[in-house]
Structure 1
Amino acid sequence: MRWLVLPLLFATAPVALSPALAQQTPLSPRPLGVPPAVNPPPPPVASPPVRPGPAARAVPAPVAAGLAQDLEAALEIDAVARGLAAQRDAVRARDAQVRSPIAGSPAIGGSFRADTRGVNRAREWDVEIGAPLWLPGQRSALAGTVEAGVAEQARRLALRRLEVAALLRDAYWAVGLAEAELAVARDRLATARDVARDLDRRAALGDISATDALLGRNEVLSAELELARAEAARETARAAYATLTGGSVTALAGIRPEAPARSAEDHPALVAAEAALATAEAQSRLVAATPIDNPEVGLFTRRQGGNLTEDGYSFGIRLRVPLPTDARNTPRRAEAEAGRTRASADLAQARRTVQGEIALARVALNAAEAERRLAAQRKAVADQQLAASRAAFRAGEIGAFDLFRVRQLQIEAQAADARAVVAAGRARSRLNQAMGAVPGG
């Protein structure tokens, strides 16, 4: 009896759940009755477990690192992630300047001079090679900016990983929801056909009218239509997921709920903001260490010839030392201080934002779990009510219309329970996202 009831209760559930839930945020809902989510850190889910539906029981256990593997595949084709990786390498390349013994590129110069009174009266030429010199503390300050810049880009890349994980979770749970709805649609069709056969048999025996038998046939057609829609939705969701990952669908072998995140101490948003502040402070130190442009020293040789000049070669050294001015240094100091202030404010705001999102996600999770428990109780009562109505119908105590009215109530209870299960799974995902947890992290 129970297996007949299960599909019926979802008669209207797929229509109510598909559009809204399939487009949830990356912290997407757990699919209706889909097996626990893909990203499984070692410990099992600590919060009240989500009850698996028909699809969950049918899907084999997936590879633990499935979602993590798909995340790596998605990052490989993500334009923002690739740009950040390239920028990190570009910052690291500045280390070549730090290793150089001079502060910039050397230069070669020369000149020639001749007297206008005639050929060979007087002529002079010289050749010079020069290079800029490091200021005291400038080289170590520059090395600090390189180190801080590389670390910042690496942290930004980790933050982008979390952002892509949010997109991947959304697409992943969209597939899970589509799979669950497909399983429900199949069960609904199987149950509708069973009820239709029962009604046709009763009509043939004269126990019920032919009009009542048409109710069962209508339900079969409705279930077949819903099954066709669910199959199309499943294929669409899988295609969207594959597009995001570049074709990798390792995680879709089985969908499982995520384990709860343990801590938000290393939240990528906070770490990235801290790295940005470290870069700004390193830039401030570099500005302080370079109050003037780099001095230049040059060695030259001169050749003189002609009747009115000292004939022969000479050697010398030139030194050029720029002087500090407010016109040069004030804007640079102000810009560096502005960058440090901005980075400090961004860090403080990131901390407030993360703390607020975690608090809101915890409240939402507690509310979703409470709703799930109440919905489960309501569904259990509705299941018993439907089972009793089926027995009464077979005994001829109630008619088909009464049976379908009770069945509709049970469908509503099942839909509410399914939405509550999805809401609980979505709330768990949102909490993990708010805490900065990535699949496989």
Structure 2
Amino acid sequence: MYVTKHLLAAFFIASLFSHVTLAEQLEAEYSNQLSLASLTEKVYQRLPGKAGEAKYEQLRQANDAVTNTLFAAPAIANLSHYNDAIGSSDGFQEWESGVDLPLWLPGQKQKQQAVSDKIAAELPAYQQQLRLQASGEVRQLLWQVKLAEVQLEQATIAWQTAQKLEQDVEHRVKAGDLPRTEALLASSNTLETLSKKADAAALLKQQLNVYALITGETALPSVVVEEVAQAVDWKQTHPRLLLQDQVIARLQAEMGVAQFDAAVNPNLAVGVRRERGDFDESFNNSLGLGISFAFDDSRFSQPAIAKAGAELADAQVERQALLRELDTRLLTRKQQLASTQEQLALVSKQDATTQQYYQLQKRAFDLGELNLIDLLRSQMLANTSQSRKRELEVQIKQQKAALNQALGVIL
């Protein structure tokens, strides 16, 4: 049983040290050849929404196919024949053929063309909205990695400090200044920091794997820090608002087309007739020309106009809701940044005081005036305050990037 316990302990320690070896080797790779803009473009090309760009070209081409036709509807050819074969059989015959040509109503073709123009204008707005989405993903991925790096950095510092303390305790135990139990306590503390370091390394590896999955890159841009964009009139430039504006413009154009829905287009009829009265007569040929148009057909377009108006109203309401959502998010981001900056100022003072306190405690321990448990407590406080300070420093940079995202700034 005694041997088994020691074997298990040895296995546990070896396992921890294998994780530490991995943690020491694990670090993010940075490349000067990769910029935030180029990385965003890579993510943009991999977005699921990228496939949605094709629909705009398909819609425009389909609408242009209607607009570019000569007539408002397909031309109709007709042929008819009459004779008296089942009646008097005097030889009466009549042949008539013609073509019905539906004509465009005034303004109908122009309004149809306006829909094509609005569809074409909607595509760039959609692409900019996708690029903003890609920018948001890049910002989130990068700063998750940076936060994981800081956690590993601080865990490594804590482990190195614990190692140094353990070595000092071992020397004093060998010199007879401290009991053997103090060495066991110092070793336990080192193993605890070692475990935290392994956890931090695993988290960093996880974040790097997610980054590689989304971006297709293993390296990070060498420059990732952003400054808050200044003098940005985001209500006029935000890609999501601009896309919604284009949607509204397209629906307005479609509402113009809706007034011709169910309307009867004027019809120009051109035909020829060939006829004779009986067998003794020769055929007589004639040319016919006619036009037909509807009276008071506007009421039949009202359902289509009402439906188009409802869709337009929904889009305008959606824009107002989007504006409120973006305004709220921007306010939240600004308040978060200001709050974190205030926290950093306070935590920096706290860290300076805590580090000074720890050094005094360490000196007292070296002089034999303090026991190891109290020193470890002060060491834990020092590690915690230092880690908190470093995390807040990174969070401020992350929140500046998030503020730019809320402003609609594309990387």
Give the TM-score category using the shorter length.
Answer: 0.7 to 0.9
**1:1-46 deviations in whole A, cap 9, x for unaligned?**
xxxxxxxxxxxxxxxxxxxxxxxxxxxxxxxxxxxxxxxxxxxxxx
CA contact (8 A) 1:128 1:299 kept: yes
Bigger proportion of residues as helix:
2
Query: How far off is 1:335 after superposition?
Result: 1.9
Aligned to 2:197: 227
Does the 8 Å CA contact 2:82/2:95 hold for their aligned counterparts? yes
**Cα displacement string for residues 161-204 of structure 1 (whole angstroms, at most 9, x for unaligned residues):** 32333233222222222233233333333332222212211111
Counterparts of 2:101 and 2:45, CA distance in 1: 43
88-97 or 301-310: bigger deviation: 301-310
| Cα deviations by residue, 1:365-423 (Å, 9 ceiling, x for unpaired) | 11111111111111121122222322332233322112101111112212332443344
Per-residue CA deviations over 1:203-240 (Å, capped at 9, x if unaligned) read: 11111121111222223322332333333322221222
**Alpha carbons of structure 1 residues 381 and 127: separation in structure 2 relative to 1, 3 Å:** farther
User: Alignment partner for residue 287 of structure 2, among 303, 307, 315?
Assistant: 315
- Size of the aligned set, in residue pairs, is 381
Give distance in 1, aligned partners of 2:228 and 2:90: 91
Q: CA RMSD in A?
A: 3.1
Provide the rounded CA distance (Å) in 1 between the counterparts of 2:181 and 2:128: 64
With 387-396 and 134-143 compared, the bigger mean Cα shift is at 387-396
Residues 99-128 of structure 1: per-residue CA shift (max 9 Å, x gap): 443334444443445544289945544443
Q: CA deviation at 1:145?
A: 1.8
Q: Measure how far apart 1:267 and its partner are.
A: 0.7
Does residue 95 of structure 1 match 2:67? Answer: no
Query: What TM-score, normalized by structure 1, do the two folds share?
Result: 0.76
Matches of 2:269 and 2:217, distance apart in 1: 60
CA shift in 2, pair 1:180/1:258, >3 Å: same
Report whether the alignment pairs 1:151 with 2:121: yes
Q: For residues 213 and 299 of structure 1, what CA distance do their matches in structure 2 show?
A: 110
Say which structure, 1 or 2, has more relative contact order (CA 8 Å, 6+ apart). 1
Q: Does 1:170 align with 2:136?
A: no
Distance 1:130 1:207, change over 3 A: farther
Structure-2 residue corresponding to 1:69:
38
Cα distance in structure 2, aligned partners of 1:358 and 1:269: 14
Verify: 1:282 aligned to 2:253, yes or no.
Answer: yes
Question: Which of 203-212 and 158-167 deviates more?
Answer: 158-167
What amino acid does structure 2 have at the position aligned with 1:258? E
Q: How does 1:107-126 map to 2 (within 5 A)?
A: 107-117=76-86, 121-126=91-96
Task: Kindly indicate whether the alpha-carbon contact (under 8 Å) linking 2:154 and 2:387 is maintained by their aligned counterparts in 1.
Answer: no
Return closer, same or farther for 1:144/1:389 CA change in 2, 3 Å cut-off: same
Contact map agreement 2:33 2:221 (CA 8 A) in 1: no
* Residues 229 and 404 in structure 2, CA contact (< 8 A), matched pair in contact too: yes
Asked if the contact 1:176/1:255 (under 8 Å) is kept, the reply is no
User: Larger C-alpha radius of gyration, 1 or 2?
Assistant: 2
Uncovered stretches (5+) of structure 1, i.e. residues with no partner: 1-57
Q: Which residue of 2 aligns with 1:295?
A: 266
The CA distance in 2 between the partners of 1:423 and 1:120, in whole Å, is 102
Cα distance in structure 2, aligned partners of 1:340 and 1:395: 80
Residues 205-214 or 425-434, more deviating: 425-434
Change (3 A) 1:301 1:219: farther
Contact 1:267-1:436 at 8 Å conserved across structures: yes
> Percent identity between the aligned chains?
24
- Tell me if structure 2 keeps the 8 A contact 1:88–1:150: yes
Distance change (3 Å), C-alpha of 1:412 and 1:228: closer
In structure 2, runs of 5+ residues without a counterpart are: 1-26
Q: Is the 8 A contact 1:295 1:319 kept in 2?
A: yes
Of residues 312-321 and 116-125 in structure 1, the stretch that sits farther from structure 2 once superposed is 116-125
When normalised by structure 2's length, the TM-score is 0.81
Q: 1:124 to 1:351 in 2, by over 3 A?
A: same
Distance 1:436 1:398 in 2: 56
The offset of 1:95, in angstroms, is 3.0
